[in-house]
Amino acid sequence: MKTVAIIANRKHKKAVELKVKLSKILPVTFHIYDKLTDKQGHATQLTIEAINENADFIIAAGGDGTMNEVVNGLMQATEEQRNKVIIGLFPLGTGNDFARTANFDKSVDRLAQLIINGKNRKIDLGFVEFHNEFNEKKNRYFNNIAEVGVGAKAVVIVNKSKKRLGSTLTFFLGVIKAFVGYKQQSVRIKTTDFQWIGKVVAVCVANGRYFGSGLGVAPGANLDDGKLSLVIVGNISIIHFLMYLPHLRKLKLIKHPEVHYLKIDYCEIISEEKYPIEMDGESIGFTPFTAKVVPAAINLLGGS
């Protein structure tokens, strides 16, 4: 008997319904149960519980934030425990950016087939250290993207909005609003063999390729190459951003002297003033910020 634990937001109807729908498709050799979240961070706790209950599969039914919390719960387990669990995603969030890179969709039938087949692969994670609003040092894992700059400001705007216009337009308007009054300041970026100093709009450390509801900011990112993609967007204007927006939608490299792409295993970002940080669609804290890759950290449902 294989067990499937679903981590779902209690207030999200489709997330709560996933257990019933999967039960109608999966063979009787699968035991399916759900754990419902009530607050931010709850998915991490429920994931730890599911691991201790020896779940074979843990499915995050939600968005990028829910998936991130599940990943952070998994990383609190021992390596032996992590190797026994396969993590999956049923994307129901606003952005669903990790799902784009990892090739998850909203088909219950396809999710069931993936679970039946049990095919999975090892993927990398990013591990970051940063400071909270009280200047306390914190750390966290990310599976998709951590970003310093205007995107973090946009996330705050988006998460406070009602999202009635749909995810893509909501994020677009959020970025435009974030640009207004945004103060670009000089940062110092240091990797193992590279240093950069200058004003930035955004610095992305990426494991996945997309953020901001389908903006392909890191075309060269791969989930299982043992590296992170560093994308530096320097001193560009909102006009340049709008000009290159179609490139981002099509996952194309931007050829501009203020935009830089690198493959890294470590980076450090230091700024004179606090710069906001967002991770997988949630605001987490402020600079200074360090990130490093954790190769082959977890088992992700599905193939390459």
Q: How far apart are CA 61 and CA 92, in angstroms?
A: 6
> Tens digits of per-residue pLDDT, 54-83?
999 999 999 999 999 999 999 999 999 999
SS3 of residue 92 by DSSP? coil
Q: Please indicate, yes or no, whether the overall pTM of this predicted structure exceeds 0.75.
A: yes
Percent of the chain with pLDDT over 70: 92
Domain 125-295 has CATH 3.30.1330.10: no
Model confidence at 168, pLDDT cuts 50, 70, 90, reads low
pLDDT in tens, 176-219: 776 776 777 789 999 999 999 999 888 999 999 998 888 899 99
Rounded average pLDDT over 45-52: 98
Report the SS3 class of residue 213.
coil
Place of tokens 């000009």: 243
Place of tokens 């940063």: 130
Nearest alpha carbon to residue 74 among 41, 48, 56, 94: 48
Question: What mean pLDDT do residues 257-285 have?
Answer: 92
Contact between 159 and 278 (Cβ < 8 Å): no
CA distance 82 to 234: 38
Give the mean model confidence (pLDDT) for residues 147-151: 84
The per-residue pLDDT for range 7-41, each reduced to its tens digit, is 998 888 999 999 999 999 999 999 999 999 999 89
DSSP per residue, 234-283: -S--HHHHHHHHHHHHTT-----TTEEEEEESEEEEEESS--EEEETTEE
**Cα–Cα distance measured from residue 235 to residue 87, given in angstroms and rounded to the nearest whole number:** 39
Evaluate whether 88 touches 58 at the Cβ level (below 8 Å). yes
pLDDT at residue 161, rounded to an integer: 64
Mean pLDDT of the chain: 91
**Does CATH number 3.40.50.10330 belong to domain 2-118?**
yes
CA 174 – CA 185 distance, rounded (Å): 20
Q: Kindly report the number of other CB atoms within 10 A of residue 197's CB atom.
A: 11
User: What is each CA distance from 124 to 71, 187, 208, 230, in whole angstroms?
Assistant: 11, 27, 10, 15
Q: Is 187 helix (H, G, I), strand (E, B) or coil?
A: strand
**Domains of the chain: which residue ranges?**
2-118, 125-295
| Cross-strand partners of 132 | none
Number of other CB atoms surrounding residue 83 within 10 Å = 12
Strands (E), 48-91: 57-62, 86-91
Q: Mean pLDDT throughout 229-255?
A: 87
Reference 210, options 141, 267, 117, 280; nearest CA is 280
**89-133: per-residue pLDDT in tens?**
999 987 899 999 999 999 999 999 999 999 999 999 999 999 998
* Kind plus residue range of the DSSP H or E element containing 30: strand 30-37
**What pLDDT score was predicted for residue 78?**
96
Backbone conformation region of residue 114, classed left if phi is above 0, alpha if psi is from -120 to 50, else beta: alpha
Q: Do the strands 186-191 and 195-199 form a parallel or antiparallel pair, or are they unpaired? A: antiparallel
Residues 6+ apart with CB under 8 A from 102: 89, 123, 208, 223, 300, 302
Closest to 75 (Cα-Cα) out of 4, 145, 8, 141: 141
